[in-house]
Structure 1
Amino acid sequence: MPWITALRSTARTGFTLERAYNEPLLAVRGALGVAIVVFGALALGSPALATSAALGAFIAGTATFQRSYRPRPVLALAAAAGLSLSTLVGYLASPWPPLFVLVLGLWAFGAGLAWALGPTAGVVASTTVSVMLVVVTLPSSVPQSLEHAGVIAVGGVVQALLVLLIPVRRWGAQRDALADAYASMADYARRLRHDPFAAFDPEALMTARSAAALTRGQARRRPAELGGKRDPMERMRPVLAALADPRVGAAEEGPERDRAREILGAAAEVLDVMARSIRSGLPVPVPERTYRALAVPAGGPVLSGPARQSALLLVGLLADSADSLESPAATGRDAGADEVGHLPRPSLPEMLPVAAHAVRRNWAWSSPVLRHAVRVGAVAAVGETVGLLLPFGHGYWAPLTAVMVMRPDFSQTYSRGVARIAGTVLGVLVASAVVLLADPDVWACSALAVLCIGGAYTTIRTGYAAMSACVTGYVVFLLAMAGGSVTVTAEDRVGQTLLGGALALASYALFPTWQTVRLPDRLAAYIEAGGRYAAAAVAAFGAPSAASRRAVRETLLDHRQARADLLTSSQQASVEPVRHRGLRHSQVTAARSAMAALGRTALLMEAHLPAPNGGPAPEPVPGAARFAEALREETARAALAVRLEQPVDLTGLRLHYDAWTLELPAPADNSTDPAHLVLRDAGFLVDALEGLQKALSD
């Protein structure tokens, strides 16, 4: 879209305020931590020392509000350690302005690289740059700088202790993630009653998997009701789709469809009950009518063939889930992969090699993270230099604004830039007016700062503009408490804020990282991952084993991640003021639809995978392994063609499929023979890939 349209769209996003708030107790707890540190440092030390302590407590408290599944005390302590180190390093370089500008640029570059570890690490690392800019002006000697670094660390310790002493919904984030996954599955079951081809967004499942990754310490303390429920819930998804799909499940009309709708409705009720139980931590009974709906009707089974097979499997999974509601502690460590152990999450010391690997992976000029790090480092250095040269007081407002605004993508940088400028200008004007007109003493400034931080914690999910206004008022009152801000006019601060925002926006315009140009690579990765997932599902019929089922699971996770990456890039590209010369938006949309059909078919195959259950091993389907290899190779070749912007040709796969059909005998009607099931579904896979070829050739 044109630049004017893109800027208007992102500005509108930045000004949007959501009617969402943090839990009041969380905001009170965070503000209490700041109050303890501020008033304690003010009583025992100087206003400047209280300013440093308050900044440390505020940012350490902010870290506990980030979306992370690590223990909140650990996040607060890690943030405090980074803030203390940045304070000390910045002060040691501050006597020599050129050296300080160089150190600041390198520190900001490192903070930008922290985005390779995820948004939480990136946000916390960015705050260390802001503290380096502000706190470095407060000490007057090296011992004082050590003292300031120490009280900043104390602020983090206080916030960590408050999290332990005033727990608010222990394991609440993990409970919500798993409950949301069950609720999304219940919604999917209800939609399948009316639309057998309803789409399913796996984002909730991906979030639940992320929440299930635990450190060793977390694994020892995890509540029993959070263990062992994610795996059977995920196994329900392909079974639900197989039962509802008229091609492979219940007939499109008639008694079979009515019975399928009844079972899907009962499944939705059980899944909703599971979600409520997990969210609250208390067993919730399943209604008796739901059990009756799942029982075989008095007149005998209505479903037959693959549909009945899917229904029986679904009822079994639901029964296991319902049983676990009544005795969650008995879901123990003896039944399911998710119960035997846990998905490993490295502890903070173990994160060092992980961080090094993430940085190496992003150490390429095409990486958005590296380009973001270069932008942040350059803008921080330029902003500090310009702030020193201009006749304004407190020149750090320009680089501070720029660093806090910048993100690795265009839409967030520009929307946050506009919101930050508006919120900062409002906060500066109001807070400066209070300071200049009321002339509050240090204790009153401290109380006003705590009040502002309570507002920031409360509105942290409302919108960046609202939170920025509160945070800016907080900083103004802290600086007034330190004694130097009364002589600095509001116009100076507003001018520096506008300068910093302009630098951030200009840096992205001059040195962008457009997601639009990454779309071919994202789409190619999605095609390749989808081909591997479908090939693994076919290959599992050719060589039935526990290893083949694990391969299906692993490729499914890769397929989900590739889909999420493509969706994210597509959404970000849709608001960028550039256009890809080779790949049109309509082609990407059509290709995504074709790959969604491929993924759905692979999901249907997963529902009927042969699984040894103590009886004789399932017979391999002749030719399945050979067709799976052809499928994998053809989709990999198609992905390479997309990356090279060449025509995609998948006609060879149809030839492989036609040759395979000649090898197998004609199946009986409504057969549940694995050979018939895999051959039928493989035909759907070929149809989906032919749709992909057509989408990319139009």
Structure 2
Amino acid sequence: MSRPTARTGDRRPLTLPPWLAHTLRAQRGPIPWSAVVRGALAAGPLLLASVLLDRTSLGVVAAIAAMLAGINDRPGSRRTSVRRLGVPALAGAGGLLVGTYAGAHVGAVVLTLLLTGIGLLAGGMSAVGPVASGAGTQLLVASAVGAGMPVPEAGWLRALAFLAGAGWLLALRLLLPTPGATAGDFRLDGERDAVAAVYDAVAELLDAVGTEHANARRVALTAALDNAQDALAGPRLRRYASSSAERRLHAQYAAALPLAEAATALAWAGDAVAGRASEGPRRLAAAVRENTHTGPLPAPHRSAPALRALDDALLHAADAFDQGEGADLHTRRRTAMALFRTAFGAGGREYGLRVALCFGASAAVAQALHHTRWYGQHAHWYWLPATAVFLVKPDLGPLASRVLNRAAGTVLGAVVFAGFAALLPRPEGLIALVAVSGALIPVATRHFAAQTAVVTVLVLALVMVGGEPQASVSRIGETLLACAIVLLVGHLPMPGQRGGTVRARLVAAGGAAHAYLAHVLDEARDPMAGPDSRATRWTLRREAYRTLAEAHTAIALAAAELPALARHSEGADDVVAILERLVDTTTACAVQLDDSGRLSAHQRRQLAELVGQFEKGRERTGLRLPELPLAV
């Protein structure tokens, strides 16, 4: 008798636990060749110059700074690179200065307490955003390096060398043209690509209206708008805003906002639109990239409010492209008080405490081992706390994922370097290895294990160029010890409510959704509101979608932690989903208001239903979120 076989439909696909799936996940995209060139021209040439000038130790410091800046050298505009690379470099130079003088003048206990305090400050600061996180990372790493790295020069000279290394990479970022950037001033290529991507994202959302892909395309549109907002928000490249070129880009970005609003309203309605509706945004995207005129734009049908809004937005965009004038809506304004609350609020406090405990504990263990014979004469005790920094910071990824990738990447990098060290001539071969590693960093940042392997090779090469013996075994041992410390300390019970980072992001998203909904309801009560009210609405809509995206990111990272940590954020994704539907509905209502001056009874019922769902979710999760306006 034959055995019954299970039906194919009964088989469930094998799914990995979230923490393991995140470990294996890598980013995709084209190779950033311009960043690869900058990486090759950064740390290696700096190190070569220092060897030729007989100031090798300062060259090692400058190369470390260039390496850290290279990790932050991500795609984007030149103006944003000033902040993305410059602010962390200043923080790193300050940390190197403090660490150097503390390491030379205080004992091990006081030094450990000082590093713990720096960890608390840097951790809270890192909760503010990506640039602040990069600054916190370099502050911590440089303070540990300054306290433990044997460099004969004075602290102020080390800090200057650090700034010189990061400044060299920043100069390359600002001055070198991007390959293929031929549309006008090459210094605006990043801004131009970011604005063009917004119009492409609008077109893709219009193509997906009425399909299962519409929500994913709307999320992609939010990401494109966030990227363009950041690309245009940095310092001016010229004193007078580059005359027409920069003003034109600002106008083109502002013209995309009503298009995005109309496309979102169409996606909310769910009725498929004709294919010609997406042709206009695609032609606008090509005009931005090529820095040309738009030419004639195909008009969509005007059979519904959102289609009429789309048509009006296309006409407005064509006019803005020709005149180069538009409202300056790109700046994301956050007050100093708001930043302070983020850094020292619930999320910042939990973040800072977690970083401080791991950084301080690893520094204490490292110094205790440093004074034992077992640890050896050539120990680099600062490697232990510096490694812990890259493992413990919550915004850099789930703890378990980073620990596994760090361990695997360090072992791989150390083994590869040991092979090269046995074959390459010194120091010229090692300097070439530093240059090659610097070139690989922009590609390796797509996966933390690959990035760790490349950085390990680079750091070990710097150590040998500095006159110390090969240290692959020591690097592996200290990394594994740091992984164990971070896993242990990171899962210890902590005072207060866990999941503070997720809760802080939810509070911000709830507040932004509240402000957006309240403004649209005010417009419904006052149909005579002018263009200033509409501009304010677009700014509030941008902030609502942006904070929702940040909340999604925080929740995804928290969900990929081990269950002991992931459980503290359960239910948060349901609240964000309700807020997302509410903001989409509010956008559709805003388009309806522009078309008819009033909200339909159906739209009011939907708003009221979503507000009620939000209140239930708020009570169920115990989150202290702002109450939404009930008079809808």
**1:525 Cα deviation from its structure 2 partner:** 6.2
Residue correspondence of structure 1 range 565-580 to structure 2 within 5 A: 565-576=550-561, 577-578=563-564
Write the deviation string for residues 473-516 of structure 1: whole angstroms up to 9, x where unpaired: 11111111122224x5x333211110012112222111569875
Matched AA of 2:281: L
Match of 1:126 among 122, 131, 137: 137
**1:121 Cα deviation from its structure 2 partner:** 2.7
Larger radius of gyration: 1
Partner of residue 273, structure 1 = 283
Q: Does 1:426 align with 2:412?
A: yes
- Taking the aligned partners of 2:567 and 2:84, their CA distance within structure 1 comes to 44
Q: Does 1:177 align with 2:194?
A: yes
Match of 1:25 among 26, 34, 52: 34
- Taking the aligned partners of 1:244 and 1:49, their CA distance within structure 2 comes to 57
Residue correspondence of structure 1 range 471-550 to structure 2 within 5 A: 471-486=455-470, 488=471, 490-511=472-493, 529-543=512-526, 544-546=528-530, 548-549=533-534
- Taking the aligned partners of 2:567 and 2:437, their CA distance within structure 1 comes to 48
Partner of residue 49, structure 1 = 58
**1:691 Cα deviation from its structure 2 partner:** 5.3
Partner of residue 343, structure 1 = 331
Partner of residue 19, structure 2 = 10
Match of 2:431 among 446, 459, 479: 446
Match of 1:239 among 241, 256, 262: 262
Matched AA of 1:233: A
Matched AA of 2:324: T
- Taking the aligned partners of 1:116 and 1:363, their CA distance within structure 2 comes to 9
Residue correspondence of structure 1 range 182-331 to structure 2 within 5 A: 182-192=199-209, 200-201=218-219, 202-215=222-235, 220-221=241-242, 223-240=246-263, 261-262=273-274, 265-278=275-288, 280-283=289-292, 285=294, 291=298, 294=300, 303=303, 307=304, 310-325=306-321, 327=322, 330-331=323-324
Distance 1:68 1:228, change over 3 A: closer
Distance 1:505 1:480, change over 3 A: same
Partner of residue 173, structure 2 = 163
Matched AA of 1:318: L
Larger mean CA deviation between 385-394 and 517-526 belongs to 517-526
Partner of residue 47, structure 2 = 38
- Taking the aligned partners of 2:455 and 2:405, their CA distance within structure 1 comes to 13
Partner of residue 607, structure 1 = 591
Instruction: Give the fraction of aligned pairs with identical amino acids, expressed as a percent.
Output: 22
Q: Does 1:681 align with 2:603?
A: yes
- Taking the aligned partners of 2:514 and 2:93, their CA distance within structure 1 comes to 49
**1:82 Cα deviation from its structure 2 partner:** 3.5
* Alignment check: 8 A CA contact 1:112 1:376 kept: no
- Taking the aligned partners of 2:15 and 2:267, their CA distance within structure 1 comes to 42
Distance 1:267 1:243, change over 3 A: same
Distance 1:485 1:104, change over 3 A: farther
Partner of residue 369, structure 1 = 351
Partner of residue 666, structure 1 = none
- Taking the aligned partners of 2:149 and 2:568, their CA distance within structure 1 comes to 54
- Taking the aligned partners of 1:270 and 1:281, their CA distance within structure 2 comes to 16
- Taking the aligned partners of 2:458 and 2:568, their CA distance within structure 1 comes to 49
Distance 1:172 1:387, change over 3 A: farther
Partner of residue 363, structure 2 = 381
Residue correspondence of structure 1 range 610-689 to structure 2 within 5 A: 610=594, 674-675=597-598, 677-689=599-611
**1:266 Cα deviation from its structure 2 partner:** 2.2
Partner of residue 640, structure 1 = none
**1:205 Cα deviation from its structure 2 partner:** 2.5
Structure 1: segments with no counterpart, 5+ residues: 253-259, 297-301, 347-352, 611-671
Larger mean CA deviation between 600-609 and 542-551 belongs to 542-551
Write the deviation string for residues 59-100 of structure 1: whole angstroms up to 9, x where unpaired: 234343376874435654544444333333322222344143
- Taking the aligned partners of 2:19 and 2:566, their CA distance within structure 1 comes to 20
* Alignment check: 8 A CA contact 2:62 2:165 kept: yes
* Alignment check: 8 A CA contact 1:196 1:244 kept: no
Larger mean CA deviation between 421-430 and 513-522 belongs to 513-522
**1:110 Cα deviation from its structure 2 partner:** 3.2
* Alignment check: 8 A CA contact 2:96 2:159 kept: yes
**1:673 Cα deviation from its structure 2 partner:** 5.8
- Taking the aligned partners of 2:82 and 2:236, their CA distance within structure 1 comes to 16
- Taking the aligned partners of 1:117 and 1:581, their CA distance within structure 2 comes to 24
Write the deviation string for residues 7-43 of structure 1: whole angstroms up to 9, x where unpaired: 9642442344444454223212222122221111101
* Alignment check: 8 A CA contact 1:431 1:473 kept: yes
**1:458 Cα deviation from its structure 2 partner:** 3.2
- Taking the aligned partners of 2:231 and 2:554, their CA distance within structure 1 comes to 23
- Taking the aligned partners of 1:155 and 1:62, their CA distance within structure 2 comes to 13
- Taking the aligned partners of 2:568 and 2:172, their CA distance within structure 1 comes to 55
- Taking the aligned partners of 1:213 and 1:74, their CA distance within structure 2 comes to 10
Q: Does 1:559 align with 2:544?
A: yes
Larger mean CA deviation between 569-578 and 399-408 belongs to 569-578
TM-score, scaled to structure 2? 0.79
Match of 2:113 among 102, 120, 130: 102
- Taking the aligned partners of 1:430 and 1:514, their CA distance within structure 2 comes to 44
Partner of residue 614, structure 1 = none
- Taking the aligned partners of 1:195 and 1:8, their CA distance within structure 2 comes to 26
**1:117 Cα deviation from its structure 2 partner:** 3.6
Match of 2:126 among 98, 106, 115: 115
* Alignment check: 8 A CA contact 2:116 2:357 kept: no
- Taking the aligned partners of 2:168 and 2:234, their CA distance within structure 1 comes to 24
Partner of residue 102, structure 2 = 93
* Alignment check: 8 A CA contact 1:17 1:466 kept: no
- Taking the aligned partners of 2:35 and 2:539, their CA distance within structure 1 comes to 37
Larger mean CA deviation between 599-608 and 63-72 belongs to 63-72
* Alignment check: 8 A CA contact 2:392 2:486 kept: yes
Distance 1:389 1:9, change over 3 A: farther
SS at match of 1:424: helix
Structure 2: segments with no counterpart, 5+ residues: 1-13, 182-186, 621-632
Matched AA of 2:584: R
* Alignment check: 8 A CA contact 2:97 2:155 kept: yes
Distance 1:684 1:508, change over 3 A: same
Match of 2:442 among 449, 457, 464: 457
* Alignment check: 8 A CA contact 1:53 1:155 kept: yes
Distance 1:358 1:603, change over 3 A: closer
Matched AA of 2:465: M
